[in-house]
Amino acid sequence: MSEAEWTIVALSLKVSLVAVLVTLPTAYGLAWVIARRRFPGRMLLDALVHLPLVLPPVVTGWLLLIILGRNGAVGGWLFETFGLMLVFNWTGAAVAAGVMALPLMVRAMRLSIEAVDRRLVGAARTLGASPFRAFLTITLPLSLPGIAAGAMLGFARSLGEFGATITFAANIAGETRTLPLAIYTGLQVPGSESDVARLAIIAIVLSLGALLVSEWLVRRSQGTRAHVL
């Protein structure tokens, strides 16, 4: 790989990893609440979580711009209080990727939390565990395959994120130009077909690699019959 390609790949990996790691706890918390709690507004929460999945990504990017942009409600406050600006740099790309990955991560984790027999949690309680300890020792370890699957899906989704990223974080070489944005940019330039092909192959290898690695992790922890997807 050339140095320019390395920059793109390293940026893509950094953006996707940070997006997944930061989104993971939130996604798991939301998944647990939706799976286990019954409260008014649960449907609304579920719908909100799924919004990035059904909205055109450009619209999600635009909403992020409105909320988190330099003049946005939250973005303005972040800038004035911490001097933090999310647009036009890699953290913005990570935010866009994380938001787009959230629904897929919540779905995978929610399914695996729902699959944990609640009666096991009851058994743990009779044995002296507080609700939190029962969660830590029973629900969390038993939903580990869902966490792995969610992380994997989220990573793949982040790696491929385009619409929300280009709208919210823009397309700046070395800063927010991840693999898909680089491929798109290459397509605009006549004569760069081979560069585009190389980037596309790298994208395929990375995505496939992520799938294989997470499959291997799940099998190692859950036995050979377990699967990520």
Partner 1 sequence: MSFDVSLDMAVDDHAFALEFASDAKLTALVGPSGVGKTSTLNAIAGLLRPRAGRIAVAGEVVFDSAAGVNLPPEKRRAGYVFQDARLFPHKRVSANLAYGARFAPAGGEIISQDEVVDLLEIGHLLDRLPSTLSGGEARRVAIGRALLSAPRFLLLDEPLASLDESRAETLLSLIERLRDELDLPMLLVSHSSAEVERLAGRVVEMTAPGPA
Positions in the binding site for partner 1 (CB under 8 A):
119-120, 122-131, 133, 137-138, 141-142
Name, in order, each residue with C-beta under 8 angstroms of 115's C-beta and a sequence gap of 6 or more.
142, 143, 146
Nearer to partner 1, 7 or 137 (CB): 137
Nearer to partner 1, 139 or 171 (CB): 139
Q: Calculate helix-pair angle for 42-54, 57-68, nearest 10 degrees.
A: 110
Nearer to partner 1, 56 or 131 (CB): 131
Inter-CA distances, 179 with 65, 124, 163, 210, Å: 21, 47, 13, 15
* Nearest distance, CB of residue 217 and partner 1, angstroms: 16
Nearer to partner 1, 89 or 137 (CB): 137
Name, in order, each residue with C-beta under 8 angstroms of 53's C-beta and a sequence gap of 6 or more.
103, 104
In order, the DSSP letters of 67-129 are HHSTTSHHHHHHHHHH----TTSHHHHHHHHHHHHHHHHHHHHHHHHHTS-HHHHHHHHHTT-
Nearer to partner 1, 104 or 138 (CB): 138
Residues 150 and 217: beta-carbon distance below 8 Å: no
Q: Report the largest interatomic distance among the alpha carbons of the chain, rounded to a whole angstrom.
A: 70
